[in-house]
Structure formats: C-alpha cells, structure tokens
Amino acid sequence: MTEYWLISAPGDKTCQQTWETMNNLTSKQNSLSVNYKFHIPDLKVGTLDQLVGLSDDLGKLDAFVEQVTRKVSSYLGEVLEDQRDKLQENLMANN
C-alpha cells in the first residue's frame, strides 16, 4: 500500500527555495521520498466588518435555501398525492 504524507515546511525567502531545499534533502540525495507540490492559494484577508457582513449574508442564504427546499418538498408531495409512500424515496439526494 502506498503511503502519502502531507507536510508543511518552514518557509525560505520564496516557496520555490523551500521546495528545492526539501526536494534536495529527501529525494535527490537520500532517496527517501518522491515529492509532489500541492498548491494552496493565498487566503483573502479582510476587515472584521467584512467578515460580519459575510456571516450575515450566509445566514440569509441558508434560510432562503431551506425555505426553497421545503417548498419543493411540499410541491413534490402534492404531485405525488396518490403515491405518498414514495415521497421519501423521491426526496433522497443520493440513493
């Protein structure tokens, strides 16, 4: 079985220098591992006001999606009026 490790290396001046140092020490000189890059994008940095605003928006969107989902469920129940026993089966997202 293949074993994968996800590590974080202390940074040099640039990401490329860190990568080359780690690669030289582990794969080229000592044959300890085969290394692959996994790019993690920079996180957006904002103000506390922006964060609070996004949190409020997320709450509103969550309530809206729940309301729409409940309406769709209700409409589907009306369409399946003769087959109410199949309502649960039709509401399942993943079978």
Domain housing 87:
44-94
pLDDT, residue 95, reads 57
Task: Please report which confidence band the pLDDT of residue 87 belongs to, taking 50, 70 and 90 as the band edges.
Answer: confident
Tokens 């949190």 belong to residue: 55
DSSP collapsed to 3 states, 5-56: CCCCCCCCCCHHHHHHHHHHHHHHCCCCCCCCCCCCCCCCCCCHHHHHHHHH
| pLDDT tens digits, 60-73 | 999 999 999 999 88
Q: ∠63-71-80 over CA atoms, to 5°?
A: 150
Residue 64 covered by a domain: yes
Do the domain assignments include residue 48?
Answer: yes
In a domain, 82, yes or no: yes
Structural domains of the chain, count? 1
